[in-house]
Amino acid sequence: MLIQCVLLLPTFQTNNLTVTLEKAREEVKRLYGNRLRIRVCGICIENNKILMLNHRGIGNTDTFWCPPGGGIDFEETTPHALKREFKEETGLDVEIGSLMFVNEFIHPPLHALELFFEVKVIGGQQLLGSDPEMTTDTQIIQELRWMSFEDIKKYPSHEVHTLFKYCNRLSDIYLLKGYLNELNALTGVVHN
């Protein structure tokens, strides 16, 4: 779950890290806020671990783990967008599989429809990438990690993507179908 908040610290505690985090939050709001975005996301599971990215500048703890993905550019196909996002964020080349499910993410000022596809790594070199639309001091991707389900569940639910609220184990991701949203996650109902 993403929650926007303003980090307020007394001036004597303000440091470069705080300034950088606040810049990242403002950049997220400027680039993605107050509009509907269409995003593509890739579920990449190998050796019972899923590839995840940790983002800062989102939420009240500056930790938000989610699968790689991002916005689709105008006149860009969905498969091309997902391949581009994986390359930018992870350094990996992927093959796009089936559409798995759609998640609606609404946490003002952010609102996105997320199309989740199964992906398979076919090349490239794994590295922590970046968002090209952001400057060096406002980058929000801070970590890339292959995570087990147990690793993910160690985090509070608001620090990981909503899709994990539907799962009791990593393989349950393959059972998700149709439309998901935060309300469904709270009630346990999935609309097929």
CATH of the domain at 32: 3.90.79.10
Any domain includes 173: yes
Any domain includes 6: no
Q: What pTM value is reported for the model?
A: 0.83
Any domain includes 102: yes
C-alpha separations of 3 from 59, 99, 172 in Å:
4, 27, 25
What DSSP character marks residue 191?
B
Total of domains in the chain? 1
Helix (H) or strand (E) holding 55, with range, is strand 49-55
Is the pLDDT reported for residue 150 higher than 50? yes
Domain extent for 179: 11-187
Confidence category of residue 16, pLDDT binned at 50, 70, 90: low
Confidence category of residue 3, pLDDT binned at 50, 70, 90: very low
d(CA 100, CA 8): 40
pLDDT at 58: 75
Any domain includes 4: no
Any domain includes 27: yes
Any domain includes 64: yes
Any domain includes 29: yes
Sequence-ordered strand ranges (E) for the chain: 35-43, 45-46, 49-55, 64-66, 69-71, 92-107, 110-124, 141-147, 179-181
Peptide bond into 10 cis (omega under 30): no
The rounded mean pLDDT for the chain is: 84
Any domain includes 5: no
Least confident of 26-35, 81-90, 115-124, 163-172: 26-35
